[in-house]
Structure 1
């Protein structure tokens, strides 16, 4: 069975370690997903947006890792806006337990931040929301 392709969106300046954790989970033998690509750390311009759009269109779902400063991460909001316009599903993951995790500015008010557990991750990647 083919694994679900996931694009990781995260705040490069504050939450790169969280991306590493998700990369590790993707390597589990029972993981239902593979990481096709993740955020681009470059200045946001037309070229950046084109590159992000290509990457997002090549995946099944976008996993947005939320931390304490995600609302100020312009790249994360741009990636969510692209996913929304391209109708690529996305979900928000709480990056830290015991800390405040905030939604990116481009997230919809109805978007929920889900606790990052292995069970939740499998359900979310499978389309359950």
Structure 2
């Protein structure tokens, strides 16, 4: 698949700026993929949010979690990770907002699948995701 689709999961209350930068840079970088921003653009009632997001995640090839310093309070991110796992959508994380290997990760995101914000490493992770889960 030439253009994999990625759902960008992030802490809506704390990391909107990093999400916008990540999506924008992905479109302007020299990486061998394009990322579509299928995340929710606004806060929604819980039942509407869950139905909308589950459907969007299911249409994607991977879930990319932008993991910031406040992830312990981001319950929506943990739900998105669960939705992805339930649909065999591969997941990896990218540290943002000063987060690093000592920062809290959202429930369900493995530390060994969370990387620094480096486009060469992100491109390698996208390639890896295209051979996992529902992309096999």
TM interval, shorter chain, is 0.7 to 0.9
Hey, which bits of structure 1, 4+ residues long, moved more than 3 A? 96-101
Asked if 2 retains the 8 angstrom alpha-carbon contact of 1:10 and 1:66, the reply is yes
Asked if 2 retains the 8 angstrom alpha-carbon contact of 1:40 and 1:52, the reply is no
Which one has the bigger helix percentage?
Answer: 2
Deviations 1:52-108 (A, max 9, x none): 111001111110000111121011111001001111001011113476532112335
The worse-fitting range, judged by mean Cα deviation, of 49-58 and 94-103 is 94-103
Secondary structure at 2:85's aligned position in 1? helix
By how many angstroms is 1:2 displaced? 2.4
User: CA 1:29 to 1:96, structure 2 compared with 1: closer, same or farther past 3 Å?
Assistant: closer
Q: Distance in 1 between matches of 2:38 and 2:15?
A: 16
Hey, what does 1:103 align to over in structure 2? Answer: 105
Asked if 2 retains the 8 angstrom alpha-carbon contact of 1:78 and 1:106, the reply is no
Asked if 1 retains the 8 angstrom alpha-carbon contact of 2:92 and 2:109, the reply is no
Residue segments in structure 1 that go unaligned for 5+ positions in a row: none
Q: Distance in 2 between matches of 1:101 and 1:63?
A: 17
By how many angstroms is 1:23 displaced? 1.3
By how many angstroms is 1:29 displaced? 5.9
Q: How large is the RMSD of aligned CA atoms in angstroms?
A: 2.4
User: CA 1:125 to 1:44, structure 2 compared with 1: closer, same or farther past 3 Å?
Assistant: farther
Asked if 2 retains the 8 angstrom alpha-carbon contact of 1:60 and 1:89, the reply is yes
TM-score under structure 2 normalisation?
0.80
TM-score under structure 1 normalisation?
0.84
Is 2:70 the partner of 1:65?
no
Asked if 1 retains the 8 angstrom alpha-carbon contact of 2:115 and 2:121, the reply is yes
